[in-house]
Each structure stands twice: as structure tokens, then as C-alpha cells.
Structure 1
């Protein structure tokens, strides 16, 4: 059974940040999530890596299930795995609100089916592309998905510098969405920090994923508050069609 509300309706007002906890203190994840929620964070980004699609291993269903009971935050689960068709149910059953899988690992004939298998379980579905994958590869699927995640670094590790050439994909997706009268949300992941988030949002990114820029700070709570305040200001400016900064 599909959701009655669109992902956009659930996440409004936009833009807002999705906080990636990949580089947080993994021994105290639940405390971290509670602190993030306390300072106004609405979306938690959970990077699932299998050591195959990307050369790194992170947390799986048991960790996500454990976190779920401590927070009402929206769980944005990014599957960087080779087998999303076989594993997506594990994450839905663990408490995911949104499942994002990679275009590169699913056969074209199976993508639409996978999207509907996810959405029919009352969970939102997104599709992600790596830096070398062009936006036009997604054209047949944009009317089905709730979100498109543009990777602005090579997936697998936090703390990388943003690949600025990937940002043209955001502008391209905005044009496609307007032309085709679609409603998917545009998200970006990788290298987003205080110095570039304004420009990324102004290009059309509505859900920037921020991780290392928060957790490399000695006071991640204070840094999260700064990002939350900044995105609220940008949301106000966009809504009222005024410039910021």
C-alpha cells in the first residue's frame, strides 16, 4: 500500500539537511541521533555499504532497527550495495522511511518493478547516480521515484571534496522536473559544507546530505544548529523570492 502523502508533503518546508551519521561516534549512535533531533534535525541519512559496490563496510539492519526506537526522525536509507533487490526488505523492516538504491546496480528491466515493490510497502523510494552516470539514464524512471540523489563525490567514504562538475546535474534535473511536471525531490550527497551549501541549494538541491562538515567539528550539536538555521533562512528567501547573503 502506497503512502497517501507525497515525499515533498512529508518533508516540507524545503530545503532542509539530511544529516549523515557515517562519520559520527559510532559507539554512541543513539545519543548522537537524540542530540540531532533535539536541535531540530528532521532527516537522518544512513549510509549502508556492503564492501562490494563500494570499498567500505558500514552498519546494517540491526543498527537501524536499534536506532529507530529512539527517534521520530525521518530515516533516509542510502543503499550502496550490489543487491538492493534482495536486501531492501531488511531495511524496510528495520524502520526505513525512504529507500534510495543505485541506478548502476539494477538491470534496466527491473528498476520500475523495484521502485513499486518498495513503494507498495508504504515506504518512499529514491534512485541515486554516481558521478560518471549522466542524468538522461534516469529519464524512464523519474515519474515513478520520490527522490533523485546526485552523488557529488565517488561513493564509499566520507570527507571527500565535492566534484563541482556534478552540480550541473542538479540544474538538469530541475529543468526536466519542470518540463515534465514531475514532483521528485532533488538531493545531493558528498562534500557539502558551510561554504558551498548555499550555492548548491540555489541550484535546486532541496535535501543536501551533510555529514563530515558536522562531525569534524568539536561541537557537532552547535554545527548542526548552524546548518539548520541556514537552511531555514534559505527556505524563507526562496519562498519570498529574495536574495540571501
Structure 2
């Protein structure tokens, strides 16, 4: 946590008729990851992309593939996405018990990838306690998962701070990612609270100048992060 802020543009908001162009654009603009939203139409009321897209993306970019599995059966499908080239895989706490989360994290690590767990807006950070020490990242959803373009849920930055505190309490330091309604106005809020990776969809791909938007969000968030760190040192 508290690494320089990175942007993970969500390709759910990209132009799928020109996906290669959009991937090249965010890579050149300094994105830290390519965020891939996988939805199964069951865990969330939407159906998006799957293994074939991940496999093609692996050939198209040097950026790490950040694959967010919004699906009911991650333990069954994890091998598919790991084999396709996912570099970081996120599963949802809401579909797995403590043993299932531990198995998922172990499977991801055994494949040489990084492991993350996501929390929906109403899910308490405490469910992470059994596995937080083994996580590479925690994803805090600041909207209900399922559709791009939603507005940021006010107060989500407080949950980011709670996740950061939980991790510190056990001597862990996973990255903290935030997804949902992140743009120029909200990025500083979550970065100041401890977020390291910001998922941006429409804020980047729907902007008149996506590269400039990406750089602006990252710079604004990083400034807020540094100001927060300075304030804590002085306190």
C-alpha cells in the first residue's frame, strides 16, 4: 500500500471495434495495468468478456493483465484465466467462504500470478482477515459491480482506510485498488485514504483526450497521496 498511484483502465469502456488501438493508447499514456472485467450474468446482471479476450490481450500488450472475476464459480474457472495469461486475478469474497478464499489465493499463486480479493460496497473488510496476509491486492468496489458508468458511492474512501488499517494490523501490505466512478474528483479521495491502483473506465476512454485524462487522474491522485502521507508524519 502507499506505492505511487497507478491507473488500471477498464477495457469494458473501450471501443471493442478498435481494441488494439485503445490498448496501445493506454500503454503509451503510462497505464499500470489493463483491467479486464469478467462478468457471468449470474453474480452480476451483465455478461461481458472471457478467456478468449484475455488470451488475445496477452499477445497485444506488455502491461500486466488485471483480471477481475465477477463470477459465481471462481474456483472452477481460475485455471482457464491463469492459463490464458492473467497476471493478477481478483475473486469476490461474497462467493467464497474462508476456506474457498484460501484455496483460490493458493491456486493463483501456484500458477505464478498475483492474487486479489474484491469487496462489494456492503461487504465488511473483516471477511478478508483469514487471507489478507497472503494477498497481493484488495479491490474495494465503490459502485455495485455489473455496469460501467456508475457514480461513486460517497464514503467509499472510508472503507479504503479500513482495509489499509486491517492490513497494517497483521503486518501485511497488499496494494489497494478502487473500482467505480473514479475520475478527477474522486481519485484524490481514495488515494489519500490509501488506494494505490485506480480502475478508470469512462473517465479515460470516454474523454476527449484519453491519454491526457489518464495522466491527469494519476497526477491528481498522487498529489493527494503525498499530501496525506506528509500530514500523517506531522501528526
Could you tell me the TM-score, scaled by structure 1's length? 0.88
Q: 2:180 & 2:213 partners in 1: Cα distance?
A: 17
Q: Which consecutive segments of 4 or more residues in structure 1 shift more than 3 A?
A: 228-239
CA contact (8 A) 1:16 1:231 kept: no
1:53 aligns with 2:37: no
Q: Aligned match of 2:94 in 98, 104, 110? A: 104
Once the two structures are superposed, what CA deviation does each residue of 1:33-52 show, in whole Å capped at 9, x if it has no partner?
11111111121111001111
Equivalent position of 2:65 in the other structure: 75
Structure 1 spans left out of the alignment, 5+ residues: 1-7
Instruction: Report the 3-state secondary structure (helix = DSSP H, G, I; strand = E; otherwise coil) of the residue aligned with 1:86.
Output: helix
CA contact (8 A) 2:192 2:227 kept: no
CA contact (8 A) 1:41 1:228 kept: no
Q: 1:21 & 1:100 partners in 2: Cα distance?
A: 16
Q: 2:133 & 2:3 partners in 1: Cα distance?
A: 22
Single out whichever of 105-114 and 15-24 deviates more from structure 2.
Answer: 105-114
Two-structure CA RMSD over aligned residues (Å): 2.0
CA contact (8 A) 2:114 2:136 kept: yes
Q: Aligned match of 1:27 in 17, 26, 48? A: 17
Equivalent position of 2:207 in the other structure: 217
CA contact (8 A) 1:40 1:228 kept: no
Q: Aligned match of 1:163 in 119, 130, 153? A: 153
CA contact (8 A) 2:38 2:68 kept: yes
1:62 aligns with 2:48: no
Equivalent position of 1:208 in the other structure: 198
Equivalent position of 1:5 in the other structure: none
CA contact (8 A) 2:133 2:167 kept: no
Q: How far does residue 89 in structure 1 lie from its aligned partner after superposition?
A: 1.3
